[in-house]
Amino acid sequence: MDVRSITDKQKTSYNKLITHVIQSWQWGEFRKSLGIPVLRYGIYEKGKLSKAFQLTLHRIPFANQYVGYLPKGPFPDKALAKALKTIGQERNCAFIKVEPNIEIENYKLKIENSFKLSSKPLFTKYNFILDLTKSEEELLKNMHPKTRYNIRLAQKHGVKVEEHTDDQAFEIYLKLYFETTKRQNYHGHNEHYHRKVWQTLKAVEMARLLIAFYKGKPLTAWMLLNFQDTLYYPYGGSSKTHPEVMANNLVAWQALKLGKKLGLKKFDMWGALGPDADPEDPWFGFHKFKQGYGGHLVEYIGTYDLVFNWPVYMLFTIIDRLTPFKVFLLKLLGK
């Protein structure tokens, strides 16, 4: 087994081995545009490229070391552990956090012992994924009756959903996104982040917007990303006005139809709570909304840390006890 840096000439080969949009070459270019170091590597078996991944490096405040972050990458086996140990030592990492894009039901290999199960995931352990190879009739049939009713209600009210890739529409999206984060009081990416992801992925036809209008006023806007056979819903925002017209429900339905129009096979809703979701959980409303569309609730194998400097790693654990660590780590890693 050999680990080597991936060059620009290997972009096509690299993307063929990747299974999630945030491991894509194009996403890596977006991360670079934020000034974040992006490292791409390939694992070679008998001279043939067998696995590929990219990770980002994040300087630890008041320390001369880094945290490596590898989200939605390959299975954490011996080959990946060996590769990351080499990278971690070369790049002066205190630890590397990995969040494999591996569902539990597809997990057959043994996780390498070097990986420590992390108590601090950044991505959710669960997600809803819809099968876009089904007909529109089948998709509607699989939805919760209340969701189907809300879609029809939005249509009856005259809500119109438009697809956009222009910057004027992006400004609408941005306004609604930050209106929502403020109203819901949750941590979101800053404006610079959203502008860069839009500019980078729109340029390669991997980003588009769906905006719902009611009587000419925008009520809901979603940014959708596409990569390989999947359409992703990572970001969205909505107005608090006219909740009775159910604009959100119609946008979601139009997103499914858009995925089918693009010839994609899956719709990834980016995250969810578990099978026994607590109604008191602050994210329960988002979970219930997504659940209404009848997607398959998948569970991933979890988040793991490969630790090189235990004192620094333990310091993070202490900070966790004293501060809202996840917010700190989210800001550090710029997720």
Q: What is the pLDDT along the chain (335 residues), one digit of tens a residue?
A: 899 999 999 999 999 999 999 999 999 999 999 999 999 999 999 999 999 999 999 998 878 899 999 999 999 999 999 999 999 999 999 999 999 999 998 787 899 999 999 988 899 999 999 999 999 999 999 999 999 999 999 999 999 999 999 999 999 999 999 999 999 888 789 999 999 999 999 999 999 999 999 999 999 999 999 999 999 999 999 999 999 999 999 999 999 999 999 999 999 999 999 999 999 999 999 999 999 999 999 999 999 999 999 999 988 777 766 655 455 565 566 65
In one letter, which amino acid is 309?
N
Question: What does pTM read for this prediction?
Answer: 0.95
Q: How far apart are the first and last CA of the chain?
A: 31
DSSP 116: E
Strands 304-307 and 93-99, bridge-based pairing: antiparallel
DSSP 65: -
Q: Which of 250, 247, 225, 228 is nearest to 238 (CA)?
A: 247
CB 250 within 8 A of CB 222: no
| List of domains in the chain | 2-123+300-333 (3.40.630.30), 127-298 (3.40.630.30)
Helix, strand, coil content of the chain in percent (nearest 5): 40, 25, 30
Would you list the DSSP string of 249-311? Answer: HHHHHHHHHHHHHTT-SEEE---B--TT--TTSTTHHHHHHHHTTT-EEEEB---EEEES-HH
How many Cβ atoms sit within 10 Å of the Cβ of residue 2? 13
